[in-house]
Amino acid sequence: MKENSFVSADDIRSAFSAAMSVMYREEVPAYGTLMELVAKVNDDTLSADPALKQRLDATDSLDRISEERHGAIRLGTPAELSMMRRVYAVMGMYPVGYYDLSTAGVPVHSTAFRPVGDAALKRNPFRVFTSLLRLDLIADESLRAESAAILAERRIFTPVAVELTEKAERDGGLDKADAERFVSEVLETFRWHDKANVSADMYKRLHDAHRLIADVVSFKGPHINHLTPRTLDIDQVQALMPEYGIAPKAVVEGPPTRKCPILLRQTSFKALEEAVSYRDADGEWKAGSHTARFGEIEQRGIALTPKGRALYDELLEASRKIVRPAADGSNARQYEAALAKAFESFPDTWAGIREAGLGYFSYSLTERGRITRISERRDLDRLIADGLVQFDAIVYEDFLPVSAAGIFQSNLGDGAQQDFVASPNQKRFEIDLGATVLNEFDHYAGIEATSIESCLRALTAAIA
């Protein structure tokens, strides 16, 4: 088969993300309502700010601004994780970052499968935050063994999805017909099943051990548990949710509102209680309920260097020492105030963030730089001061463990929080994954270094 008859991985990812959006809106109508609200707030924000509109028009695709940026699933076994990695690869999504959620009382560790190149991100940035259940953190040995046995029995991929993944690996891609089949077969893995795999008794035991264990072990597959469109004004969407009949989580996760946004801010509406049935030993179906699925929104800012990230972590920690956000929202205002206060010491101009070495920037030639040649390489600061080079923030495309924990917690029910001993195990995760994860800091540093190098090269190039 000729290579040029293959559909690009970016196009397969786009088709997949669109199909998932349609499916999830049907499955969770409140998510459709959230999408409407996001589209409205984005429209309002753009009409009120023509400069923003112009900037986004030049750098992003305005017509796709309100589309999904990410989703999340939770897997049960190493075999599921490694097969999932191969499936995502067909869509140009690769594991970036390692997140240990055990410290936050959630027995999983995770990575984000995402497009990595600039062009791929622009075409469609859809990512899936993918967690693997850690049965090793469950104290009850017999429950652990029973869970493992239940998980070993299930098949979360359709035979055709596996076959097409192998075909894509063998041939280097999929043609149009296969790509379409691939998308609809892979979608099956993410579908909701309201008939549990387990009895009501077993569900209760799993649920009592940890709600997340029940969510992973009790069902036929790793249903998508949320999707997340991009909003241009997260505070506004958070404030308007109740008017639209959806209940927001108590606080927005991440940094406070700022002039120069950093990292990632996110919030969600609380997971809904949904009807499910359990299969009892006598084959009878018994009615019950399960709470797992929700809708989320995100707003992204600049990627921070290790130094910037350390400062972020320190300030977040400091503000949480003053006010820890209560699940019922009763101290949300105090928390916001403490957060804003703590972050006063984080520079809030792009130049200030750059000078302090807190963020990653992409450098390019100014108009003057493009028509200027210099005889030898100069210091970057000097080139900026001379008006030859300009800098733009590199957007953070990854996740934040404390925020992710907050999202997990508020959607697992606001009740008792459980403690595990912190036990990050990236080595184990990578063995189970069958690959190493890309270090996100190295990645951003590489983008920055490449942009500097190409400015210097162009400025010192011989004049043609």
Answer for which of 74, 114, 127, 230 binds ligand OOG (CB under 6 A) is 74
Instruction: Check: CB of residue 388 under 8 Å from CB of residue 365.
Output: yes
- What character string, x for contact with ligand OOG (CB under 6 A) and - otherwise, covers 203-242? ----------------------x-----------------
189 binding ligand OOG? (CB under 6 A): no
CA angle, 96 then 101 then 103, to 5°: 135
**Least distance (Å) from ligand OOG to the CB of residue 33?**
19
Rg of the chain over CA atoms, in angstroms?
23
Q: How many CA atoms lie within 13 A of 114 on its CB side?
A: 30
Near Ni ion in 224-253, by CB under 5 A: 228
Residue at shortest CB range from Ni ion: 296
Distance from C-alpha of 73 to C-alpha of 223, rounded to nearest angstrom: 7
Could you give the residue ranges of the DSSP H alpha helices within 388-462?
Answer: 401-411, 426-433, 440-460
DSSP state for residue 60 in the 8-state scheme: S
Please pick, from the candidates 14, 131, 165, 291, the single residue that binds ligand OOG as defined by CB under 6 A: 131
Q: How far is the CB of 399 from ligand OOG (least distance, A)?
A: 5
Q: What values do phi and psi take at 119, rounded to 5? A: -65, -45
- Chain position carrying tokens 């009790």: 218
Q: What is the DSSP string of 387-407?
A: TSEEEEEPBP-S--HHHHHHH
Distance CA 22, CA 14 (A): 13
Residues between 253 and 312 that touch ligand OOG (CB under 6 A): 266, 296
DSSP-derived 3-state class of residue 194: coil
The interface with Ni ion within residues 34-73 (CB under 5 A) comprises none
Cα angle vertex 136, ends 130, 138, to 5°?
Answer: 100
- Closest separation between CB of residue 455 and ligand OOG, Å? 34
* Binding track over 396-415 against ligand OOG, x by CB under 6 A: ---x---xx--xx--x----
Which of 67, 185, 296, 448 is in the footprint of Ni ion by CB under 5 A? Answer: 296
CA distance 99 to 407: 14
* Chain position whose Cβ is nearest to ligand OOG: 404
Q: How far is the CB of 129 from ligand OOG (least distance, A)?
A: 4
Query: Of 383 and 407, which CB lies nearer to ligand OOG in the complex structure?
Result: 407
Least separation, in Å, of the C-beta of 25 and ligand OOG? 18
Q: How far is the CB of 411 from ligand OOG (least distance, A)?
A: 6
CB of 155 to ligand OOG, least distance (A): 21
Residues found near ligand OOG in the complex (CB under 6 A): 72, 74, 129, 131, 225, 266, 296, 399, 403-404, 407-408, 411
